[in-house]
Amino acid sequence: MQKCPALIVALLLLASPAWAQRLSGTAVPEHYTLWFAPDLTSATFRGRESIRLQMRAPSRAITLHAAEIEFDEVTVESVGGLQTAQVTLDSTAETVTFTTAQEIPTGLATIHIRYRGLLNDKLRGFYLSKANGRSYAVTQLEATDARRAFPSFDEPVYKATFDVSLMIDSADTAISNGTQLSDTPGPEPGKHTLTFATTAKMSSYLVAMVVGDFVCRSGSASGTPIRVCSTPDKLPLTTYALDAAQQQLAFFNDYFGITYPFGKLDIIAVPDFAAGAMENVGAIIFRERSLLIDPASASVNAQRGVASIISHEIAHQWFGNLVTMKWWNDIWLNEGFATWIASRPIARWRPDWRVELDDAADTQSALGIDALRSTRAIRIDVSTPDQINEVFDGIAYEKTAGVLRMIEAYVGVEAFRKGIASYLNTYAFSNAAGEDFWGEMTRVTGRPIDRIMRGFVEQPGTPVVAVQTQCAAGRAETTIAQRRFVGIPGAPPDERVWTIPVCFKAGSGRANCEVLDQPQRTIPAQACGTTAFANAASQGYYFTEYSPDAVRDLGRNASRLAPIERLGLLGDEWWMVRAGRHDIGVYLDLAGSLARDETAAITDTLATRLGFVGEYLVTPDQQSRWQTWIRSRFRPVLDTLGIPGTARDPAERQTRRAELLGLVASGDPVLQRRVRELAERYLADPTSLSGTLAPVVLRVAAASGDVALYDRYFSKLAALTAKPEDYYRFFNALPAFGQPELVQRTLTFALSPDVRTQDTASLLAGLMARPASREATWTFIKTQWPALTQKLGTFQGIPTIVGSVGGFCSAERAADVRQFFERNPAPSSQRTLRQALERIENCTALREAQSTAFGAWLQSSR
């Protein structure tokens, strides 16, 4: 499953019950025969089901999962004959028990079920979506919602094959996991029945169905038929996705040495979807904005984002579908691996995008989570649906990917690929645990991968490697020491030890790697008088601490570092400031020295972190001087790039221009007037700006915009529903309007039926991210909490809102947030809440620790 792009803080499902029950294993499914008759008018469906299973021990009772289902008839067939079963529901555990009068013997048995269910409006299970004046039926079953579509052994270890048939309206079509085998009229008037091929063995959460007026564009890769499908009005926007999917599937076939194992591949965009996308076997379902773009007008980020999500989901066909984790505590084997490899086919397809820098930025994001005391280990025990859904986060995705990149760099690309291939071949069409993966990697590579991974997978947080080099008698030695890193001043020491491959690079020379598996080691250094960079190619998943003088030396010689290393240096130094290890002036001097860096990823991280400084550290009396410093360093770079530029400019140039405009314009009245002119031109002629610059122009113009401009933005929403990216340019700009009456209009809009359930939380989070609207939005969230919890039963909803309160920066607000959620618990967001509260605490600590140093630096800066 792919996280929604707007969603960094948390990836969870709401409204799951508090408790769940692991099944006993007495009955093990082999094959499901499923028949569905969805009624899109009444928002209900009928189901008929047969489950062939093996009884491992004789029993009168079979327990499996079911939720929000009404049973009409259940019979159990075995060698002892056919028996009618008594049905006992446990709504808390989301299970159903079928009890028979006579004992069901060991061996083969079949359960036959007739039942009814709801097409809900919560974007989970089998649900109803509405667009274009009609309804659609869609499934989203990960992690524990197959039980809402059909009674099932709804745990990943219970792999089985599936036959699916759907009786639907004669004007509609349906797509499922298997290739369509037949399309026959009836049997009911006005209906036709579509039957699909038997699937490979797979877990219940990977079953997929969509019903509606979908149309498809077809292609192929390596002999596998590929279709990209959408509603009819958006079919012209499927070409880019099909091209990307063809490139990526061919790459993965070659890389894994295992041909795509599921026959056909359908990629479907639906109007409402909880996540960014879901990797169902042979039928990947996407949110429209995550798949459908026009490359002629799309931003560089949108093109990269769509390609990345497609690649992530196709990679899941091997990582997750072919080999599936035994239980949800190892979800990182799915999500982290798909995140790790997603950039590889894109790097071959579009090298100009420099996607290795996106990987590095993802690692920085994960390190930021791991800098919190409330972080978690990659693998933790989970049992309830809420606990399961809360581990779909940056630790499972980005941290795992960062650790895998570190190990790949340590053992070598080809050795790592061989280990991956061996793991997939060994556990194909079966289940695996973390030990299975690192055991196979250790065997194939001959390196201590098991020791490395246990530390990074089973311990929370991540180490900081402190580096000190001493020279005596012409000989250089470097002492490296590790400890757990916590990003707040005065954190108590933590004596955990990791096994860390630490790779040094002096100047532009080759890297030299050492394994640090104890608190401290002293090793020979490459040379005296040169500061070695202690994370070559920024592939290590750890923080690095240099002395302030060493940071300055690395900054002066930044040209000797690769762009990905300069990005890593900026990240390391930022966190040394956050932890109170260095004064903020060390970071700001480094940032200023890299202002002209031609790497878009560096411009992006500078804009983000300098924006943070401007909001949280700069006092009103300091704003003028701060903005002068920003303009002096970054406005000349922006002028050199030119505004507005064109979509024909190289991707890096377009992206840097957009990031710099967002950074500089907020404190530059002349530039703000220019931006307003560009926004007016764009409103009149959408071709006047590149897709990369347009979103920034619209947001910057909105920040000082009036009611008339707001009305013009708002009117665009209804006109652009057939063009998702264009629609969201205006939708995402609405929170930038800071006038109180316009903030209230956006808040009211967020809860209205005109905003899709999938989008409400991101709109509120956008308002919470801005000082001008944060207080009003928090008041709105508190007063409208019952309505929000009713509407946002989605993969991102409530957790996104809970995470957004981490934007506050005062003890008073922390207390308010804590008290509110004590009165209004959010079970699916417990860790998200702890992390949000810790971010508030860390921000207030940063102000206290760095305000004096910042003021002194600002006074001395020129």
Q: Which residues are catalytic?
A: 313
Long-range CB contacts (within 8 A, 24+) of 733-736: 733/695, 733/698, 733/699, 733/702, 734/702, 734/710, 734/763, 734/766, 735/763, 735/766, 735/767, 735/769, 735/770, 735/773, 736/698, 736/699, 736/700, 736/702, 736/703, 736/705, 736/766, 736/770
State how beta strands 283-287 and 323-325 pair.
unpaired
Tokens of 186: 């009836």
Tokens of 210: 């969509």
Residues near 179 by beta carbon (within 8 Å), at least 6 away in sequence = 196, 197, 263, 264
Q: How many helices (H) and strands (E) does the chain have?
A: 27, 29
Cβ of 606: how many Cβ atoms within 10 Å? Answer: 22
Distance (Å, whole) CA 395 – CA 339: 11
Closest CA to 857 of 583, 503, 472: 583
| DSSP H/E element including 715 | helix 707-719
DSSP 8-state symbol, 282: T
Cβ atoms of residues 834 and 806 within 8 Å:
no
Distance (Å, whole) CA 190 – CA 172: 11
Distance (Å, whole) CA 577 – CA 574: 5
DSSP 8-state symbol, 395: I
- Give Cα separations from 678 to 652, 667, 686, 735 (angstroms): 21, 17, 10, 19
Distance (Å, whole) CA 27 – CA 100: 14
DSSP 8-state symbol, 599: -
Please report where in the chains the tokens 């931006």 appear, as a residue: 675
Please report where in the chains the tokens 């009149």 appear, as a residue: 684
Task: State residue 500 phi and psi, 5-degree precision.
Answer: -125, 125
Q: Is 275 exposed, middle or buried (0-12, 13-18, 19+ CB in 10 A)?
A: buried
Distance (Å, whole) CA 101 – CA 84: 8
- In the three-class reduction of DSSP (H, G, I as helix; E, B as strand; rest coil), residue 399 is classed as helix
Residues near 25 by beta carbon (within 8 Å), at least 6 away in sequence = 56
Distance (Å, whole) CA 709 – CA 798: 30
- Give Cα separations from 639 to 301, 577, 628, 657 (angstroms): 22, 31, 16, 9
Please report where in the chains the tokens 């009117």 appear, as a residue: 715
Angle, in degrees to the nearest 10, between helices 771-783 and 757-768:
130
Cβ atoms of residues 526 and 506 within 8 Å:
yes
Amino acid at 485: F
Angle, in degrees to the nearest 10, between helices 600-616 and 355-370:
30
- Give Cα separations from 709 to 715, 735, 764 (angstroms): 10, 13, 20
Residue 225 pairs in a beta bridge with 220
DSSP 8-state symbol, 103: E
DSSP 8-state symbol, 861: -
State how beta strands 532-533 and 520-524 pair.
unpaired
